[in-house]
Amino acid sequence: MARIGVLALQGDFLEHENVLTRLGQQAVEVRRPQDLLDLDGLIMPGGESTTFCRLMADFGLYEPLRDLLSQGFPVWGTCAGMIVLARQALDLPFPTLGALDIVVDRNAYGRQVDSFEAELSVPTLGEEPLRAVFIRAPVVVSVGEGVEVLARLPEGPDVPPAGAGTAVAVRQGHVLATAFHPELTDDARLHLYFLDMVAARQARPV
């Protein structure tokens, strides 16, 4: 059983905790630096990115998180979590963690009423498409050379015209990020994929 922290400052952290519990893992709510001790991985959930960053600053989490990321600690950011992990987030009045070599545009698909769903091809998860829920999702404007694109938006009637072909799931070493909300569906394959990343790090010789 892995101890997976879920940044519980705001947003949909409870949904991630429920998935982890269903998968037999220990979910640990993280609000202060001491909550980061003895974890095997961390999920940064969706929410409102400005509020998210303000609370991270208020609770003194920026530097502890940067330290963990610099040590190869597995972290997965969904939606707002992707924004915070990016090298640059356009129009964000707070610094990012800079752990992922991507540039994102916050809320670029529109407001809450412009939320949408799409069937994604994610080859690393198998042949079955992944149903993805996008809520005020960030758009990945550019991807660095060291970043692996796991999924892109397809063309289709439910996809915003500017979105087709856009990267929506990326990985750079120990950092995973998705522009959508896997915790809002019954498909746990991305959570299992992240747990595999955690297990791979645990298996490395010290």
Quick one: pLDDT at residue 136? 84
Active site residue 183: yes
Stretches where the chain sits below pLDDT 50 are 113
Quick one: pLDDT at residue 150? 97
Quick one: pLDDT at residue 119? 93
| Phi, psi dihedral angles at 129 (to 5 degrees) | -60, 155
Of the residues 15, 53, 183, 191, only one is catalytic, namely 183
Using the structure block, give the residue that is written with the tokens 């994102």.
Answer: 104
Of the residues 16, 53, 174, 181, only one is catalytic, namely 181
Active site residue 181: yes
Quick one: pLDDT at residue 108? 66
User: What are the structure tokens assigned to 129, written together?
Assistant: 């498409």
What's the total number of domains in the chain? 1
Quick one: pLDDT at residue 113? 47
Quick one: pLDDT at residue 205? 61
Task: Report the distance separating Cα 59 and Cα 33, nearest Å.
Answer: 8
Q: Print the domain residue range for 56.
A: 3-202
Residue type, 96: T
Q: Is the dihedral of CA 11, 180, 59, 104 positive or negative?
A: negative
Active site residue 79: yes
Query: Which CATH number goes with the domain that contains 83?
Result: 3.40.50.880
Of the residues 16, 53, 79, 174, only one is catalytic, namely 79
pLDDT tens digits, 157-171: 677 766 778 999 999
User: What are the structure tokens assigned to 93, written together?
Assistant: 């009045």
* 146 SS3 class: coil
| Phi, psi dihedral angles at 20 (to 5 degrees) | -60, -45
The radius of gyration of the chain from alpha carbons, rounded to an integer in Å, stands at: 16
